[in-house]
Structure 1
Amino acid sequence: MKNFASIPQPSQSVLGELFEHNNFIIPRYQRDYAWEDNQLLDLWSDLFEVVQDRQDNHFFGQIVTFKNDSQGEFSQEVIDGQQRLTTSCILMAVIRDIADNMYKKNFVGKNLNIEAGDALRDIKRDVDKSLRGTKHGDAPSLVLQQNEALENGINDFFYGLIHSRRALSLTKKSSPIKMMDNAYDFFFQKITNKLNEDSTLDARIELLQTIYETFVSNFYVVMITAPSRKDAFTIFETLNSRGKDLKASDIIKNHLLSQMDQGNMELSSKVWNAIAKKLSNDGDRITRFIRTYWASKNSLVSERQLYRSISKYITLSNDCKRFLNDLSSLSNVYDVLENPTDGKFNINFFKKRELYWRLDILNRMGVKLYYPIILSMYHSHYSESDMLIVVNKIISVFMRHRAIMEKGTNILETGFANLAIKIWKSNNLSVDEIVQELRNNLLPSDEDAKTNFMVLKKEGGLRGSKKWSLAYILAELYQTSFHDFENQDQSTLYNDVFAQDFFELAQIDEKNVSDDYRTRIGNWTIVEKGLRSSRGNQNDGMYSILSKSSLKANQEICKIIQTTGWDDQQVKNRQIALANVVNVTWI
């Protein structure tokens, strides 16, 4: 007989009951408060749908916790739902503070409607009872991430915000603190504006009371309390793995931390946060990084399959630690691959300058599929000289396969990933063997590359990957055919064409060439920027521009124009000539 896991029974609670019977704790490994105006406006709109009787109640989502006895008898460690809980406390605090202000302004020392004044005092009393934490020995209903290393941290600010509207005097407010501050101001302004629509004090008090009672009595959540932290994480992952709000990286992070004991969890959380910081805390970038790492070491999977694949194989604490250690050691090199020109650290990460130049050129052309190979080589401690040899072969593969033959990416992505895994798992795979694998499995033949190049068309562009790809093709071919940009370390080509961006794309003739030949490679060249402004006689066309160019390739074009003019046949002849050196340029 199969033994099924014990599934905790979900409980349904309105918000007032939820805070009355639980002390919620947000652990340090959770992401910080992050609700912005869009989410706050959604909550406000949902609230007034019920206030105005357009619906009876509102489902506010699920909360997943586990009962952490080490924190106290009623303590619930929150695995999912901290954004809703935090925002709920802030909204209730705003309602209480507005009620308190109205009471002090209109009833203290005045002989007015005592019943209306009592309604305001009841709101204040009920909110304080829900939030708790102001009396000695009275645990707060919600405690945010605490960090003993930080004085006046997130939880200190939150405590002051919901109990006394006391904004701490911080010289530099962190993002979650700014967002909590913004949430308070958002709701304060919304409620104040709504109350001011009523002309009498009694009507404003009645509306405030309705807003409060609607929120605590007509907003409900489903709470699932698991018997252990691990079970809580499993439930969280199942509920959210197909959701739109959470990135794959969020689900993966929670899976990893769910395998840890308390001591390792704190350390692992710090490692994760350092990785996330390196990648700008961008969930999409973190997900791409993890997918690239997984393709380097284990298997190539889609982003949608990434969590499922990882959770299948990473099931023990030691597996998780190795996983995080790998990510930590590779995060710098991955950031360089994605952003080679982003700051001195990335620019100087690789000491061999030609390797850096080649990686930057690939990045400008939008080439990313090869990342797993670089991660594997870096992990396996290959020298930068060996990495340069492999990168040059990767460029040849990409130029023939994608830029010239214009084939799809699936073959390259799969082939690069398979080779990366082989590098990762092999202890003695030589750089010659890596190059041979690329040549045998992924490099199109000389004949196919040459044949396709002779009819190749390119749209060009003023910026982006289309511009850089065409500029690179022409610059490399000019270097091979005419010795333009030629020096020992190829720095001239990189510096002039890419780093300094001295050149621009130009069509040799846009008037005498037919539509079919206008965008062929043979009708494209690169010229120094600024030469167009000194064009001279318009009847001379591009001749007057090219004649001023320092490139021998452009001088050759001038000779042809001067001798025979420029038409479809000259485009075809030039493209055939360039095709003859394609297989020497990208071997």
Structure 2
Amino acid sequence: MEFLNLPKLFASTFYAIPDYQRDYEWTNVQNMTLLDDVFSLFDASEGNHFFGAIVTIPYEESNGTNKSINFSDYNITDIKNIKHVVDGQQRLTSFSILAKAICDLIEEKFKNDSSFVKAQSRKLDSIYFSIYSKGYDLAPSLILNDNTGYCYNHEILKIASEEYSKKPKGAKRILGAYNLFKTEIPLRYAEMYGEDFSKERKFYENLVETLLNKVTMVEISCDASSNAFQVFDSLNGKGLDLTAADRIKNILMSWAPKEKRSQIWVNFEKKVGEGHLAGFFVSYFFYTKKKRISKNKLPDEFKNEYNSSTKDFDDFVKQLYEYGEIYGKLRRCETNNKNLNTVLESIKKLNMEQVYVMLFAAILKYGSTVISLKEFVDYSKTLIKLVVRMQVCEKSMNRLDSHFSTWISKMEESEIAIKDITSRIANDIKQIVPDENFKQSFAQFAPADNKVSEYYLIQIEEFLRRTINKDRNPVNLEGLSVEHIIPQEYSIPRWYENDVVPPELEETFAENVVENIGNKALIYGDDNSAANNYNYEKKLYIYKNGKKGQTQGIPCNTFVLIKQLVEDYPEKFIHEQVSERAKKLAEIAVQIW
């Protein structure tokens, strides 16, 4: 197995996305993390960084009907040079967009230095272009599908003229990634050098070399689809976090007495949880260093921690176990505080890894007994408000690192109480994500994950119960489900009858209307099944009367959200009502979060 840098990876291969693969889905969050990792390698003294494996199979014509280029246009006749990507599409796409964004920035900033521009462009071209046959146009090394591919070829590579739309999610993500990289890279320069532009040329030169030579991946080529999917399942079951964790394991084992080696890591892994090992070390070193340590640097930081410690090996491991057990309980929602566990379950549903940095930092500062206090629960709830606003507004969580550093430094002040840190965070939230921005984004919020939708709807439902019905009883979660009012298996004629779907909504109707938060409510499973994919009139009957024989209460008498839906929209519910209802929910959301 050979570690390949990006030019070598793309040297003799076209990577095509098969028809059955999902679209490009990385948001600013993942792309900001990618950029952070690249800049962590920027220092010339740093080594390479492994960005994971891609899994490929030979190109299959039957699974390549939606490709965005015609091979004959580029005289690509040897199918052996084309591979279908089973795993790794998101990374390959983001790296190609990043390379092109760097190239475009160089062309814009150094337009009066044509030799420098040509030299750097020639290097970067090797990532996203392939010259297959002399005399033919440049072909994209990465062949994306359908509208996303047409948008990529036209807007990013600027080599095509096929018609496409910027409105579907894949195209939006492509353009969002490109704009993010073009915006962020100059900001990184400003952070490093301020207004001293004398180092700009060297900065971009180093950035190109970093991308070309320090980013490495492994390609796993499989002969048959079945083998590829077995490899895919294995890789995704393990998770990329284990790369850093395995290195730390080897370091710890090298220090341990022979008779203790077999159990030391096994016991530690049980306490933390296998999937949370890298997260533990990131959180721990964030607290001690007041900044995020990139995963590729965690093993070296671990060495430094031990070498600078006054503890002998046994005491060092004992403390590691203590911290690991605390962190593991946070991740498993198994603390001795039931109210805290409820909050931790919410964090788990939202899948917000970054929150654990601040949760763990408070425990390390104030001691493990702080977990049992109401003040710690309030602190945790405030952190949820922060990440909710970031999630809804699609802001990169990595942008919080500077705030985390400030808040953790504040904790270090000897007399400051955790409630004061909570107040500081609460005040800062309104500056980080202002109310108006949050409301506007919430009205457009369209989470495809039902667990995420369920979390938001439960919080809104319980808020309405407290404020309208003065009912403080939580929603009964048993048998609860998310109801799509316009069903996921929708029929436009059934729903619109004499109304018309605006043309600009047709392509994105499922993503932006059906999945919009304004189209969702809570309902129990038997009523959800009864409502099924019927038209709105039949659904209203179920909302008002429930399923015959159901045992959990009539929907409009059980859920405030359903009651309001029935009252506010007694006749029809199409995209206009979805938008109107989403704005009403946004007004409630800004009060909750």
**TM-score, length-scaled by structure 1:** 0.48
Larger Rg: 1
